[in-house]
Structure 1
């Protein structure tokens, strides 16, 4: 993070701690319609318009350690797999044989020298080219060069792997805007994957994402954990282009010395001032949340399964520890964050049930919760305002508060 952004965030934190009302002129945000969380037709619109057109995090380079290593990935709603080629390039393909659609890889992950469909044995090299067809003599004028696996765009932010089904979408780094530069001091080109977990939540995916876009809940949900470390009243919330956002929440003064001491053996030594004096959280549209900490951090991914069911993936990352297993402190750190996650998600099923009740009509949002409104504005932009039923639309109000060039 550059010096100008660092100083601006420090000024914003001081302002947030001292203000007695929202900034002059900040609009009253209309209620978010409850139907956006429960209406199956709106959910179908999201499935059609958001997920196939967005850059989605699929994994990390550590999961593909050598040529021929692969993993299946179906989170985008279609069967895909990622594989490292002999040229060390990581590519993504539809897991669909060009003969009769059989899956080319069937195990969740593995390593092969070639890719062979189990149905009829059509075989592809690691770059997706069709190289073997049993009984090829029986196919009239078969041009194998036209029967390669169909590829999907796969690009990297540091060592994080992203996939996009839309050939017309901008490049990943353009889509991410300022996020990679602002987080570069975490050494994203060297960051290591520690653990990957998955949890099912009985709620709409937006109920889950909304829960991580504000700190208004800290005193109630985390009185004995997070609230003791950070001050939610000082949170500086940056609204970024493309629906992304930033939320540095300042650490209470009594904890600053310990964080600055460098005593934590897991600390990524290159992290800058803001990451040491705050919990520096980012959201990447549509479904990625990461609360960055010097000693390592999770990335949370929220995948819709149906209108009222979501899979939450939690991927843990730390600084490069060299050879062997991750440092011994990691299991304790992951358990501690698991406790916080349980606090964060405990009310989500009940919220979903309430939203399906006729008593619940909409969500009134405060200035502290403006990242939620920003997320919903982007949902409507990506779907297309004209496609969103009038009763479910979110009025676009926050454009004047989005950081230019972010």
Structure 2
């Protein structure tokens, strides 16, 4: 039997895959996973707690530095539920602010992106630097003891993971690199700092956000949903999972043939620093709660899943690549993006029907299996972030996977 902690280490990944392929049941000592209550997908009280304690306090991917090509450039980001300006200051720093004038709450910008030397509210003309400082107000003589130093724009935590911009509305949040813990060392090989943005597009789906998140945390569905695409070359029975603290995780699925290479990527530039395991297998990282990244040597797709309400989700799909020239992209990119979108649609198409079905009296809960343990890990973390005592009893998840979480 593989030890549940030591044999989750990267140097044993190939050994673990062989074990997974040959096992006759779950590993000895793996706990029975209690049902995930169905009310976690439909109960308004629970979903309100989820938003307050998880979504509003999480590190969330906002964009790529290529979206801020020069000093003074900015873009407006709305996926967190409130409008946030992400800007490259005149000093070259990347910062984020709520798009809210400190006079009477009007928006500072109304376009999706732009380039400026400062922000001027279109309602009453209050002016701010790109560092968020209030510099001028119209008819200053009419204000009594107006302290400019107390009227700066409200800043949002903003940190970089290579060239990826993350924001967090919780000013007391743990620094991003510390937060992702052991994953940070593994991500270094992908040279994220030097990857360029190739493409980004959005899709909206009529379902709860967790329905789609669930689908990207397991490969148990491949033989049903992806019969004519990825199931043809992926060996889902040999998939391995690494669970990390804070709800983060990694999944790796080998190809059916060890020498298989995606013919649509042959000849494309590769990430020189990528190691053998992710180069030869299909690895997928998840930064909690909604960032999914399955890197490949020639490019990295990034998926995020955003709640637009209890029954509607926005999916953002972006691609990063090494040595990408936006003015002269590699000729294989149009076909590659089209193939990716086809696979993505296979996952999205079924979600509205799942939403309709789980709202019926026939859905009580989810009996997850060993292959689906990333889902259970995700839900355990959600309860921890809400607070175990605050989760309504009917929606609570029992904490059973702590001995299967790798801490280094």
TM-score range, shorter chain: over 0.9
- Partner residue, 2:372: 369
Distance 1:92 1:61 in 2: 13
1:266 to partner: Cα distance: 3.4
- Partner residue, 2:354: 351
Q: What are the equivalent positions in structure 2 for 1:252-401 lying under 5 Å apart?
A: 252-253=256-257, 255-256=259-260, 258=261, 263-322=266-325, 324-401=327-404
In the alignment, does 2:75 pair up with 1:71?
yes
Which shifted more, 320-329 or 215-224? 320-329
- Partner residue, 1:213: 217
Task: Select which of 54, 57, 60 maps to 1:56.
Answer: 60
1:252 to partner: Cα distance: 2.0
Number of residues of Structure 1 aligned to a counterpart in Structure 2: 400
1:323 to partner: Cα distance: 6.4
Task: Select which of 160, 165, 185 maps to 1:161.
Answer: 165
3-state DSSP of counterpart to 1:174:
helix
Give the TM-score taking structure 2 as reference length.
0.95
Distance 2:241 2:36 in 1: 19
Per-residue deviation, residues 183-235 of structure 1 (Å, max 9, x unmatched): 22211010111111111111111111000100111122112211122210111
Distance 1:79 1:345 in 2: 26
Unaligned runs of 5+ in 1: none
In the alignment, does 2:51 pair up with 1:47?
yes
- Partner residue, 2:117: 113
Give the TM-score taking structure 1 as reference length.
0.95
1:385 to partner: Cα distance: 1.0
1:135 to partner: Cα distance: 1.5
Per-residue deviation, residues 121-147 of structure 1 (Å, max 9, x unmatched): 111111111112121122222222221
CA contact (8 A) 2:258 2:280 kept: no
Which shifted more, 269-278 or 82-91? 269-278
- Partner residue, 2:228: 224
Task: Select which of 36, 40, 56 maps to 2:40.
Answer: 36
CA contact (8 A) 2:269 2:323 kept: no
In the alignment, does 2:188 pair up with 1:184?
yes
Task: Select which of 96, 99, 111 maps to 1:95.
Answer: 99
1:5 to partner: Cα distance: 4.1
CA contact (8 A) 1:204 1:308 kept: yes
